[in-house]
Amino acid sequence: MAGWVGISQRTPPATVPPAPSTSYQFLFDYSALKDFPETFAEYFLSINLSDYTAVLGEVIETDMIKVLVDGYHKVLTSENFTTIIDSLLQLGSVPRFEIASMFFEADDKHALRELLKRGELDEARKELIEQLYSL
């Protein structure tokens, strides 16, 4: 095949999958959405904050958080800024978060700092995110 370079031309899903109720469903959905940060961010925002530990606690990985932050940059508006901040704060409370966050690189931390600048954020919550994510 002349000209074929072996790159998959994936298209984003037509709809955002429903919020997962299990870690298995989250992992399955993540594998389908990881190349589409905006869709993954919308999906992640659909997860109830009270379900984070049950659904994400044992499976969250550094790469997932990187895709999430990238997606949050793309979907962030003044209307959902607080929801995104709440999500980042709650994510910091899941069991594997501390391990996953240890592998953030300088670019990842910079992306998070830039996200924090894009809306109104009280000092206490800003400091908590900076502490959780070692910014």
Name the band, by pLDDT with cuts 50, 70 and 90, for residue 14.
confident
Please say if the pLDDT value at position 59 is more than 60.
yes
State the residue for tokens 């955002």.
Answer: 16
Establish if 57 belongs to a structural domain.
yes
**Tell me: the pLDDT tens digits for 88-126?**
999 999 999 999 999 999 999 999 999 999 999 999 999
Q: Is residue 3 part of a domain?
A: no
Query: What was the pLDDT predicted at 6?
Result: 45
| Residue 108 lies inside a defined structural domain of this protein | yes
Q: Specify if 123 maps to a domain.
A: yes
Answer whether residue 2 is part of any domain.
Answer: no
Average pLDDT over residues 38-42: 97
Q: Give the pLDDT score at 7.
A: 47
Give the side-chain half-sphere CA count within 13 A for 54. Answer: 10
Q: Give the span between the Cα atoms of 112 and 114, in whole angstroms.
A: 5
Question: What is the count of structural domains for the chain?
Answer: 1
Residue 5 lies in a domain: no
What is the C-alpha to C-alpha distance for residues 54 and 60, in angstroms, rounded to an integer?
Answer: 11
Whether 10 maps to a domain, the answer reads no
> 29 lies in a domain?
yes
Structural domain for 124, as ranges: 23-132
Report DSSP state, residue 50.
G
What pLDDT does residue 72 have? 98
